[in-house]
């Protein structure tokens, strides 16, 4: 895991605690004005000491700042950096950069929807996913499903699309998949 990904994981872990996320949301709502410890304690209906501990965690991971006059502010740029680090860590990220026309079908490195079947982008998604899979021989359906699950929730639809677009071949029993001997021509990746 890269240092960026580890930092992203730490920030997301800290924000996964409901009280910390609530405090972060209130800091975000207050914007540049910020909020004092007492004001935040009142807004959250929590004791000042407990809110102080929550803020210390947020400041510690770098998503908030505290000043000498006791005003706390959010650092929203940190979350942008976290999101970018998470996106970069996705296995499809380097390949997706070569297919800018497909970005709308992906969110954070995961396929969220398929283009219409008659669209010229439909086979491009097949090409991209085939490059990601990098199959050099036959594999069973379970193995293929596990590899596709890393980048999509609907593995059955994607597996079917890869066969329909001619990027994968399936045996007659429908249990073994492999790369086609002659790949379809899709044109430019962009």
**For residue 50, what pLDDT is reported?**
94
Q: Which domain-ending residue is among 50, 81, 112?
A: 81
**For residue 76, what pLDDT is reported?**
75
**For residue 183, what pLDDT is reported?**
60
For residue 68, give the CATH number of its domain. 1.10.10.10
Query: How many folded domains does the chain comprise?
Result: 2
Same domain, 32 and 97: no
Q: How far is CA 108 from CA 85, 103, 151, in A?
A: 10, 10, 10
Positions in the chain whose pLDDT score sits under 70: 1, 68-69, 182-190
Same domain, 35 and 97: no
Cβ partners under 8 Å of residue 38, min gap 6: 48
**For residue 97, what pLDDT is reported?**
86
Tell me how many degrees the CA angle 65-68-73 measures, rounded to the nearest 5: 25
Task: Classify residue 124 as exposed, middle or buried by CB count within 10 Å of its CB (0-12, 13-18, 19+).
Answer: buried
**For residue 1, what pLDDT is reported?**
57
**For residue 92, what pLDDT is reported?**
85
Residue 37 inside a domain? The answer is: yes
**For residue 21, what pLDDT is reported?**
92
Contact by Cβ (8 Å): 145, 159 = yes
**For residue 48, what pLDDT is reported?**
92
Same domain, 110 and 170: yes
Model confidence pLDDT, tens digit, residues 125-144? 999 999 999 888 899 999 99
Phi, psi (deg, nearest 5) at residue 179? -70, 150
Residue 64 inside a domain? The answer is: yes
User: Which value, in Å, is the radius of gyration of the alpha carbons in the chain?
Assistant: 23
**For residue 162, what pLDDT is reported?**
92
The DSSP result for the chain, as a single string, is --HHHHHHHHHHHHHTSHHHHHHHHHHHHHGGG-EEHHHHHHHHT--HHHHHHHHHHHHHTTSEEE-TTSEEEE-HHHHHHHHHHHHHHSTTHHHHTT-GGGGGGEETTEE--PPPTTSTHHHHHHHHHHHHH---S-EEHHHHHHHHHTTBS-HHHHHHHHHHTTSEEE-TTS-EEEE-SSPPP-----
Same domain, 94 and 135: yes
Query: Residue 65 sits in which domain range?
Result: 3-81
Whether this prediction's pTM lies above 0.85 is answered by no
């Amino acid at each position: 895991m890269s240092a960026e990904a580890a930092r992203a994981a730490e920030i997301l872990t800290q924000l996964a605690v409901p009280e910390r996320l609530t405090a972060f949301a209130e800091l975000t709502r207050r914007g540049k004005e910020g909020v004092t410890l007492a004001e935040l304690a009142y807004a959250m209906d929590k004791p000042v000491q407990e809110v102080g501990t929550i803020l210390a965690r947020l400041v510690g991971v770098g998503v908030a700042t505290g000043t000498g006059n006791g005003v706390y502010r959010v650092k929203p740029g940190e979350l942008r950096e976290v999101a970018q680090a998470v996106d970069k860590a996705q296995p499809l990220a380097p390949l997706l950069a070569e297919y800018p026309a497909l970005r709308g079908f992906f969110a954070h490195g995961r396929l969220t929807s398929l283009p219409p079947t008659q669209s010229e982008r439909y086979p491009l998604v097949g090409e991209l996913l085939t490059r990601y899979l990098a199959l050099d021989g036959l594999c069973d359906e379970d193995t293929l499903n596990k590899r596709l699950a890393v980048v999509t929730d609907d593995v059955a639809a994607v597996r079917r699309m890869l066969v329909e677009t001619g990027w994968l071949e399936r045996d007659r029993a429908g249990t073994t998949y492999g790369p086609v001997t002659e790949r379809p021509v899709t044109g430019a990746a962009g």
